[in-house]
Amino acid sequence: MTKGSINVSVENIFPLIKKFLYSDHEIFLRELISNATDATLKLKHLTNIGEAKVEYGTPQIEIKIDKDAKKLHIIDQGLGMTAEEVEKYINQVAFSGAEEFLDKYKDSAKDSGIIGHFGLGFYSAFMVADKVEIITKSFKDEPAAHWTCDGSPEFTLEPNDKAERGTEIILHISEGEEEFLEESRIRELLTKYNKFMPVPIKFGTKEINDPEHEPATITDDEGKETKEPHRKITVDDIINNPNPAWTKQPSELEDEDYSNFYRELYPMQFEEPLFNIHLNVDYPFNLTGILYFPKMTNDLNVQKDRIQLYQNQVFVTDNVEGIVPEFLTMLRGVIDSPDIPLNVSRSYLQADGAVKKISSYITRKVADKLKSLFNNNREDFEAKWNDIKVVIEYGMLSEEKFFEKADAFALYPTVDEKYFTYEELYNKIKANQTDKDDKLVILYASDKDEQHSYIEAAKAKGYEVLLLDSPIVSHLIQKLETSKENISFARVDGDHINNLIKKDDTTISKLDEDQTKALDELLKELIPSEKFTVQLEAMDSDASPFIITQPEFMRRMKEMQATGGGGMNMFGNMPEMYNLVVNTNHELVSEILNTKTKKKQERLINQSLDLARLSQGLLKGEELTNFIKRSYDMIK
């Protein structure tokens, strides 16, 4: 028997492992199963190239709980180790980074990403165990070895009579860590981290119907037929799928395979995804995966299921910010890359050159897929637009490369449910919606019902009105205005339609200068200046007499403030200000001016103003109650 000290100069390495990794101590199981998987796959490679003269067979990894003895076993049938290899890999190499680790982390417990990164994967066992044993037999024709360590730098290493190839790790679970002796907890961890590991993982057994037994039909004395019960057999409970969809070529998969895998990833999701994107690249880095577009809502904060990040089929995290472009974090699915470090902090990931390349590759791949979906079946793409637009619009705002590519598939729907690309829209409206200063004005509504009268006024002039109702639309149109030449967006209720798209032809007012001045004074006397700026306009006589609008710039700044950025906080704090556009050519306006009594003038103005406020949803509470009562009195 050999005794010795592990190659580490400081004795407090184990307390430090426990202390600094405590917040994430459940990952010990992932680490040990990852090691077992490596050992199995390495053996497969050695048998394939003829270096290992053994039968590979159909190895699996087994997890066993011995609750009474407080032991957890992880058993593999991989390449195993000789005593010499145990000495080298467990006692020396594993701690090659220990001193650097101590220097770096002794004052800070912020980063739990040290296991793996410093070769400490195996030693994560000591977060939950006060004693660890390794019983291992190499595929080489050498005796088995038995290593034991009780969480101090001392270890023992002696021969063992283990006959089968592979390694068994026995964890003597510490006091306070008994949760890792519960079947439900271990099953939860295996499902979380090891659901798609490439080697089958056995955890107990289960009963299933015997596939080779067809139940017989039994006829009783009265001639009634019944089937005999199924015969049950006990089989190994394999908890993982070693060949998940993303490890296969797209040509091997049908639509149903993608749907089934989505349900495997998100068993609680009952809605089918709209479509998927299969990622598969081997240069300049390795990356595979499948991303799904779920049905989106306009609420940017709703996100129940997230993209899962794997390294060689080992779950790493579902916090993929910095690896996946931010706008795509609203998608679901899997990304797997051996080039992403298994256990490092997010700040490290975000600064990593390979990770940045991965992010831009995913952006490009998603843009290309959206373009091909649009080109191959435009009708279907249009039908799905409202369910995916938030992601695409967010991408156009946040990723310049995506913005450029989006010209080919981003859609601009109208209130009449027609869909245009930007180029199609430009060509359609250029002749009619260019103002006297040669600027193209793109009209849009955010709510068809609330802005109905304004939309109708625009359509009466033959103008197209877009329906742009996502929460980030004010940011998006700002981006489009600065990126495209000589265009501006105007919401239909931002002003009277003649002012939104100013033409050379002007309507002449029926009122002379004195009448206009008298009307202006009368309105300003009765209408609160802190809420409304009065504008007298000569419009068509059949246009509304009083129209309330909100200045585009002010409204847009407040909206951008509400959804983050886009202006200083001053806009968010400013009171709501509206324009009251009064049509000097409407007969009601003439009647107000010609009414002899001041009381009747006031009544007509108040009633007209309240009707305009009602149409904008601005009449509420006591003022609405008074308006309704007054209206009934007028009918009587």
| 513-526 vs 598-615: helix crossing angle, rounded to 10 | 70
d(Cα 583, Cα 581) in Å, to the nearest integer?
Answer: 7
Residue 332 annotated in ligand binding: no
Helices (H) and strands (E) in the chain, counts: 20, 24
Contact 408, 401 (CB under 8 A): no
d(Cα 91, Cα 160) in Å, to the nearest integer?
Answer: 18
Query: Looking at the DSSP assignment, which residues form a beta bridge with residue 291?
Result: 277, 333
Residue 491 annotated in ligand binding: no
d(Cα 324, Cα 633) in Å, to the nearest integer?
Answer: 63
Residue 62 annotated in ligand binding: no
Per DSSP, the residues of 380-448 read: HHHHHHHHHHHHHHHHHHH-HHHHHHHTTT--EEBTTS-EE-HHHHHHHHTTTSB-TTS-EEEEEES-T
d(Cα 278, Cα 334) in Å, to the nearest integer?
Answer: 10
| Residue 398 token pair | 């946040």
d(Cα 58, Cα 77) in Å, to the nearest integer?
Answer: 9
Residue 97 annotated in ligand binding: yes
Whole-number Cα distances in Å, 185 to 25, 76, 266: 13, 21, 19
Residue 556 annotated in ligand binding: no
Distance of CA 438 to the CA centre of its chain: 41
| 27-48 vs 183-194: helix crossing angle, rounded to 10 | 60
Amino acid (one-letter) located at 178: E
d(Cα 407, Cα 473) in Å, to the nearest integer?
Answer: 16
- What is the DSSP code (8-state) at residue 230? P
∠ CA 542-545-546, rounded to 5°: 145
Residue 251 annotated in ligand binding: no
Please give the torsion angle defined by the CA atoms of residues 510, 513, 517 and 522, in that order, rounded to the nearest 10 degrees: -30
Give the list of residues 6+ apart from residue 295 with CB closer than 8 angstroms, or none: 271, 273, 274, 387
Residue 530 annotated in ligand binding: no
d(Cα 96, Cα 83) in Å, to the nearest integer?
Answer: 19
| Residue 320 token pair | 């993929």
Contact 579, 535 (CB under 8 A): yes
| Residue 628 token pair | 């309704």
d(Cα 391, Cα 362) in Å, to the nearest integer?
Answer: 14
Residue 483 annotated in ligand binding: no
Contact 244, 313 (CB under 8 A): yes
Give the list of residues 6+ apart from residue 99 with CB closer than 8 angstroms, or none: 8, 9, 10
Task: List binding-site positions.
Answer: 31, 35, 76, 81, 96-97, 167, 346
Task: List binding-site positions for ATP.
Answer: 31, 35, 76, 81, 96-97, 167, 346
